[in-house]
Every structure is written in structure tokens, then in C-alpha cells.
């Protein structure tokens, strides 16, 4: 077993030495094209101006779709004018053959149908491409955000922005241009109406100012309501996501009714604001849609009188009534369009809220890669606290020479896990410095630091994919032999071989269909296959029994040789892996030495170990026998 894994580690080390290999934990070539452009960074611009670079990335196809749509609308506008000529010239005065007008109307219909197909096909295609760009842009941004961002932002809020808000923007980009183009058809219809009769045109457009006033009022009322609607939809997404993720806790405490009440309460709040939105729409949209019918009545009244007086032909009055009907379409969609604009604006601003967030931990402009590290680690007078809370570490100093294994011991909350997070630069220190081979980690690229610093957390996370893919997460191109060797070293191969499909077995969400110890062993195998120069074991064997833990320790003892290792010890047996032990107290190193030295000279160390023994004994004690 050991020879196979040692060969695996040698192969991985040679791969890391290859300068062509990217300094990223997951170095795979992307098979997908990145977005052509992103949101404009200037926050002073309107939401549409900020979105324009994304749209402009597809401007060629977008222009074709709009031109085709315009051609379709203009053909529709031309039909009443041809009908007017047909009635006046072919049917009334009989000065022209009817067949020519029939052919002209048929050709306009064919052109309109073909142009409409091209318009809708490419417009929807562009809209979905923009939706894809927005999703990729948002996820790419989220992948670069610091841990402090996720400490304060609910995942349900982010999911809502990535789904419903982006979909709302996509809907606007799909139907908004079509509705806007109806304005051009409206203007073309007005022009043709003016060419027929100026007085009658004035009569037809008399209701327009009232529509403008009502539309502006509708827009002012709809925007804040739309924002609240999207926000409350995000609240529901958050509640649902938390309940699904924590379903075991919910069921363990029989809290189903309480959670159903919480969902019902959130749903009622969303229902109320949706009803309020419907009330605003119902109070304005019918009036906006009915105004053109007032124009139709006036056109029939005045147009009929002009026709009786002989000042207007029958064909002209037919064309006019047709144009008035055509003018009703923009009016009918005007209220819907205003509501769509306000919802899209609210959704876009919610998306921009995330995209405008800057990661607190990021590469400096002059950052360089950490290449071929020895693995010497030094914490120099480090001070750190989470947010506005009191510092967890204060004046923390620790020197770990390359190749040494150090156990960090202390009471709960003393900052042991924080040491691991600072070394991997999940957070930046508030004061002092964390150094690898004498270089401040803030001067190094994040990708290279995390490529050489591996963490096995105390709460392992598995993806819903095969066990092989979970182990090979950091090295997707690893061979099956390498994966199996890492699993053996982690003590995971025995239970994996007993699974129905062995390494091809797909684990459930978060790996909860496996035991805690099985998940931890897969997590250890994943880190071993990544072959980091610095390895952090954050209570990595807390969920395995004593016998399995001993087999893992036997394998780890050989694998940790020459590798800098920090063991966050919450368990007595884990300390045996270390060359020396560091005791943390009040955010700083209180004692440093071997286990034997600290037992003889440091009462606080013995006290901490006593607590560890109590915790370990309670966790590992056999279940009491029940009398028959």
C-alpha cells in the first residue's frame, strides 16, 4: 500500500514541478466560452446603461432580430394603406384592377410572417445568451468573493438573484425590444394617418396625453413594489433552502409544523405584496387600454361626418379605423411594459448589489506565485477577529519549520481553526503577518497559496457525484490507480469496495448517505491526492472510531514525512501524530513543547487534555447494555 501511494505522490510532485501546469488546485481547461462582456462598473450610470455592455456583446444578432421585427411591423402598417387604395380605386371608382392589390397584400403578409419568424427566433436566442452571460458573470463573481461575504449574506438571497432576478431581466430583454418597436409602428401609423386626414388624426390621438400621465404614475408606484416582490421571493428561497439543507435538524426536533408556519408566513407576505401590485395594475391598466377606444369612437363620429360631407372616402375611413385598432396594441402593452421595466430595474439593481461587492481577500497588483515551496510557516504577531467581534487571535506567534508536524491544542473557541483559515488565506489578518518560506501570503497569489496549502476540515463536504470524482476533485485528470492509492492511505478503500458500484457510486446531497467517518476519510483522500506541501488536519478524524483512526494514523505517519503539517487537535489520539504541541490560550501561544514536556511543566495543558479525554470518552464510549 505504502509503495503505491509513494509512487503516486512522486508523480504528483513531478506534475507540480511542470511549469506548464497551472498553479490552481483544480487546473482544468474550460470547455465553455466566457461571457463576451460584463456589467459596466460605473455605479452612477442607469441600470440599462450598466447592462448595455452585456447586450452589446451580441449586438450583431440583436440588430438582425430588431431589423427583422421592424420589417414585420412596417409590413403590417402598410396593409391598411393598400386596403384603402383597393377600396377607393378597385371597388369604388374601378380605375384599377383588384388583383394587383390582392397580390400586394399577400406579399406583405408573407414578408411579415418570415420577418416575424427571424425576429422572434434570434431575439429569444440573444435573450437566452445574455441570460447565460449574466449567470456566468454572477457565479464567477461569487467564486471570487471572500469568506467574510458568505458569513453575512444568506445563500437563499444569492440563489434568488441568480435565478428569478436574472430571469426577470431576461424577460425584459426578450419582450422589451418588441414592445419598443411597436412605438415605431405607432409613429409610422400616425404618419400615414396624417397623409390621409390631419383633422381626423388629431381626433384619434386626443387620448394620448391622458395615457402618458397614467403611465408615469403607474411606473412610480410599480418600482418600489417590484423591489419588495423580488426581495420577498428571495426570503422564501432562503427559508426553503435552509429547511432542505437542515432537514435532519428539523425532523430531529419535530419542528415540521414550525417550519411550515415560517414558510406560510413568508408566502403570505409575498401574497400581500403581489395583491398590492395587482391592485395598482388593475387601477391603471384598464384605463390605459380603454383610452384608444375613446379615440375609435371619435374617429367614427368625425370620420363618418366627413365621409357624408364628401370630404373623405370610404377607403380612407376603413384605413383610419384599422390604424386606430393598430394603435390600441401599444396602449394595451404599455401598462405591461411599464410593469416589466420596473421589475427588471429592481431585479437588475439587486444583481448589481452583488456584483458591486468587492472581495476583501484578493491578489495584490504585484502578487507573484508561490513556486516549489519548502513549507516553512511563520505566524508573526498575528491579530485577527471576525467582523466587529473581539479578536480571536491577539499577538499570536508560531514558527513551524519545513517538514515538521505541530499539534495545536486549546479550549473550544481559542482560535485553533482560525489558524488554519489564515494560513490558507480564507481571511486576511488584522495585524501582523502569516508567512510561507518567509513570504507574506498577502504578497502571493491566492491560487498558488491554496494549491500548496491543503485543509482537511472537521466537517467534510462531498459533492453529489461519484466517490472517484470527489477524491479527484483537486486533480480531475488523476488516474484510477492514484485515486485508489489515496483512498487506501486514508483508510477509505475497504468501505468503498463494499459499495454497489465501488468508486463509481454517486453519493447523495452533501454525502449524507455515508457516515460521518466515511465522509471524513474521503475528504482526507481528496487532500492527500492534491499533495499539498503544507497540510492542515482540522480534527480530521473526529468522526471515525478508534480502530479506523489508528489505521489512518499509521498511514499518515509515513505520508507526513517531509511535509509541513498543522494538526488542529480536538482529540487526544491525534496529538500522537505531532512532533511538538502548541497550547493556545486567550488568542496566543501559552506553551510550546513536546507532549511529555508540557505534561510535566504546564498545568493548563493537562487541564485541556482532561477535557479532551472527557469529550472523547463520551463520544467513543460503547452504548450501555439494556437489561432484558
Q: Return the C-alpha cell found at 145.
A: 468573493
Mean pLDDT (whole number) for 393-416: 84
Assess contact for 491 and 551: CB atoms under 8 A: yes
Residues 89, 131 within the same domain = yes
What separation in angstroms does the CA of 591 have from each of 24, 126, 216? Answer: 36, 64, 71
Q: How much is the pLDDT for 621?
A: 40
Residues 503, 414 within the same domain = yes
Residues 351, 409 within the same domain = no
Give residue 454's domain range: 377-620
What separation in angstroms does the CA of 238 have from each of 156, 158, 351, 352, 462? Answer: 3, 9, 16, 19, 22
| Domain membership flag for residue 366 | no
More confident residue, 626 or 499: 499
Mean pLDDT (whole number) for 469-488: 80
| Domain membership flag for residue 541 | yes
Residues 311, 413 within the same domain = no
Q: How much is the pLDDT for 444?
A: 86
CA distance 54 to 624: 65
Packing angle between helix 59-85 and helix 166-196, nearest 10 degrees? 30
Residues 348, 383 within the same domain = no
Mean pLDDT (whole number) for 546-551: 60
Question: Residue 30: which pLDDT band, with cuts at 50, 70 and 90?
Answer: low
Which helix (H) or strand (E) segment holds residue 583: the answer is strand 580-585
Mean pLDDT (whole number) for 543-564: 63
pLDDT at 294 exceeding the cut of 80:
no
- What CATH number is given to the structural domain containing 62? 1.20.1560.10
- What CATH number is given to the structural domain containing 512? 3.40.50.300
| Domain membership flag for residue 21 | no
Q: Return the C-alpha cell found at 279.
A: 391592485
pLDDT at 267 exceeding the cut of 70:
yes
pLDDT at 544 exceeding the cut of 80:
no
Among 215, 222, 335, which residue's Cα sits nearest to residue 274?
A: 222
Average pLDDT of the chain to the nearest whole number: 76
Residues 402, 329 within the same domain = no
For residue 593, list its beta bridge partners. Answer: 581
pLDDT at 13 exceeding the cut of 60:
no
More confident residue, 250 or 622: 250
More confident residue, 613 or 301: 301
Residues 125, 75 within the same domain = yes
Among 184, 176, 173, which residue's Cα sits nearest to residue 56?
A: 173
More confident residue, 126 or 489: 126
Q: How much is the pLDDT for 2?
A: 47
| Domain membership flag for residue 625 | no
CA 414 to chain centre: 33
Residues 476, 523 within the same domain = yes
CA 385 to chain centre: 27
| Domain membership flag for residue 14 | no
pLDDT digits (tens, 9 = 90+) for 576-586: 777 888 888 87
Cβ-proximal residues to 509 (8 Å cutoff; 6+ apart), any chain: 464
Question: Residue 109: which pLDDT band, with cuts at 50, 70 and 90?
Answer: confident
| Domain membership flag for residue 25 | no
Residues 340, 382 within the same domain = no
Assess contact for 207 and 288: CB atoms under 8 A: no
Q: How much is the pLDDT for 175?
A: 76
CA distance 560 to 265: 53
| Domain membership flag for residue 246 | yes
What separation in angstroms does the CA of 188 have from each of 192, 193, 368? Answer: 6, 9, 61
CA distance 347 to 354: 11
pTM for the whole structure = 0.67
Q: Return the C-alpha cell found at 448.
A: 498558488
Provide the percentage of residues in the chain whose pLDDT is more than 90: 0
For the residues of 340-385, what is the DSSP string, one character each?
HHHHHHHHHHHHHHHHTPPPSS---TT-B---S----EEEEEEEE-
Residues 296, 419 within the same domain = no
Domains in the chain, number: 2
CA distance 11 to 5: 10
Residues 179, 76 within the same domain = yes
pLDDT digits (tens, 9 = 90+) for 187-242: 777 887 788 878 888 887 777 777 667 766 776 777 677 778 777 777 777 777 66
Residues 213, 258 within the same domain = yes
pLDDT at 90 exceeding the cut of 60:
yes
Q: How much is the pLDDT for 18?
A: 46
Amino acid at each position: 500500500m505504502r509503495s503505491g501511494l509513494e509512487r503516486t505522490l512522486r508523480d504528483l510532485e513531478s506534475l507540480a514541478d511542470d511549469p506548464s501546469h497551472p498553479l490552481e488546485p483544480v487546473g482544468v481547461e474550460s470547455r465553455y466560452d466566457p461571457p463576451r462582456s460584463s456589467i459596466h462598473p460605473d455605479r452612477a450610470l442607469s441600470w440599462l446603461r450598466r447592462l448595455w455592455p452585456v447586450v452589446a456583446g451580441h449586438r450583431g444578432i440583436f440588430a438582425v432580430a430588431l431589423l427583422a421585427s421592424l420589417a414585420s411591423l412596417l409590413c403590417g402598417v402598410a396593409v391598411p394603406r393598400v386596403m384603402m387604395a383597393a377600396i377607393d380605386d378597385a371597388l369604388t371608382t374601378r380605375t384599377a384592377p383588384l388583383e394587383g392589390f390582392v397580390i400586394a397584400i399577400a406579399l406583405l403578409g408573407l414578408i411579415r410572417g418570415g420577418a416575424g419568424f427571424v425576429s422572434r427566433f434570434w431575439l429569444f436566442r440573444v435573450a437566452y445568451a445574455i441570460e447565460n452571460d449574466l449567470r456566468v458573470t454572477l457565479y464567477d463573481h461569487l467564486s471570487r468573493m471572500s469568506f467574510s461575504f458568505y458569513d453575512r449574506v444568506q445563500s437563499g438571497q444569492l440563489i434568488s438573484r441568480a435565478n428569478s432576478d436574472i430571469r426577470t431581466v431576461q424577460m425584459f430583454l426578450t419582450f422589451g425590444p418588441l414592445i419598443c418597436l411597436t412605438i415605431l409602428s405607432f409613429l409610422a401609423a400616425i404618419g400615414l394617418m396624417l397623409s390621409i386626414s390631419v383633422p381626423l388624426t388629431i381626433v384619434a390621438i386626443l387620448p394620448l396625453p391622458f395615457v402618458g400621465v397614467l403611465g408615469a404614475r403607474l411606473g412610480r408606484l410599480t418600482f418600489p413594489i417590484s423591489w419588495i416582490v423580488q426581495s420577498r421571493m428571495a426570503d422564501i428561497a432562503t427559508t426553503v433552502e435552509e429547511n432542505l439543507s437542515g432537514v435532519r435538524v428539523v425532523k430531529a426536533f419535530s419542528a415540521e409544523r414550525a417550519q411550515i408556519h415560517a414558510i406560510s408566513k413568508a408566502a403570505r407576505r409575498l401574497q400581500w405584496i403581489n395583491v398590492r401590485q395587482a391592485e395598482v395594475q388593475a387601477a391603471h391598466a384598464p384605463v390605459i387600454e380603454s383610452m384608444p377606444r375613446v379615440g375609435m369612437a371619435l374617429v367614427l363620429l368625425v370620420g363618418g361626418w366627413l365621409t357624408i360631407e364628401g370630404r373623405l372616402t370610404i377607403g380612407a375611413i376603413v384605413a383610419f379605423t384599422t390604424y386606430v385598432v393598430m394603435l390600441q396594441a401599444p396602449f394595451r402593452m404599455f401598462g405591461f411594459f411599464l410593469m416589466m421595466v420596473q421589475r427588471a430595474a429592481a431585479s437588475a439593481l439587486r444583481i448589481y448589489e452583488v456584483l458591486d461587492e468587492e472581495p476583501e481577500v484578493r491578489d495584490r497588483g504585484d502578487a507573484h506565485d508561490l513556486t516549489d515551496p519548502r513549507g516553512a510557516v511563520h505566524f508573526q504577531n498575528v491579530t485577527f477577529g471576525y467582523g466587529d467581534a473581539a479578536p480571536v487571535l491577539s499577538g499570536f506567534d508560531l514558527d513551524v519549520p519545513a517538514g515538521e508536524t505541530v499539534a495545536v491544542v486549546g479550549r473550544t473557541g481559542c482560535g485553533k481553526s482560525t489558524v488554519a483559515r489564515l494560513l490558507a488565506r480564507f481571511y486576511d489578518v488584522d495585524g501582523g503577518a502569516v508567512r510561507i518560506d518567509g513570504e507574506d501570503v498577502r504578497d502571493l497569489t491566492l491560487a498558488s497559496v491554496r494549491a500548496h496549502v491543503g485543509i482537511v476540515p472537521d466537517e467534510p463536504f462531498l459533492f453529489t457525484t461519484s466517490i472517484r470524482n470527489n477524491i479527484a476533485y483537486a486533480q480531475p485528470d488523476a488516474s484510477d490507480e492514484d485515486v485508489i492509492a489515496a483512498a487506501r492511505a486514508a483508510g477509505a478503500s475497504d468501505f468503498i469496495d463494499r459499495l454497489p458500484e465501488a468508486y463509481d457510486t454517486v453519493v447523495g446531497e452533501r454525502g449524507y448517505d455515508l457516515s460521518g467517518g466515511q465522509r471524513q476519510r474521503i475528504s482526507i483522500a481528496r487532500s492527500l491526492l492534491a499533495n499539498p506541501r503544507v497540510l492542515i488536519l482540522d480534527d480530521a478524524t473526529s468522526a471515525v472510531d478508534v480502530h479506523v483512526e489508528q489505521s489512518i494514523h499509521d498511514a499518515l505517519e509515513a505520508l507526513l514525512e517531509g511535509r509541513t503539517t498543522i494538526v488542529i487537535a480536538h482529540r487526544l489520539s491525534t496529538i500522537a501524530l505531532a512532533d511538538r504541541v502548541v497550547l493556545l490560550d486567550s488568542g496566543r501561544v501559552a506553551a510550546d513543547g513536546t507532549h511529555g514536556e508540557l505534561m510535566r511543566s504546564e498545568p493548563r495543558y493537562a487541564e485541556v487534555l482532561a477535557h479532551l479525554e472527557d469529550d472523547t470518552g463520551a463520544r467513543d464510549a460503547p452504548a450501555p447494555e439494556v437489561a432484558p
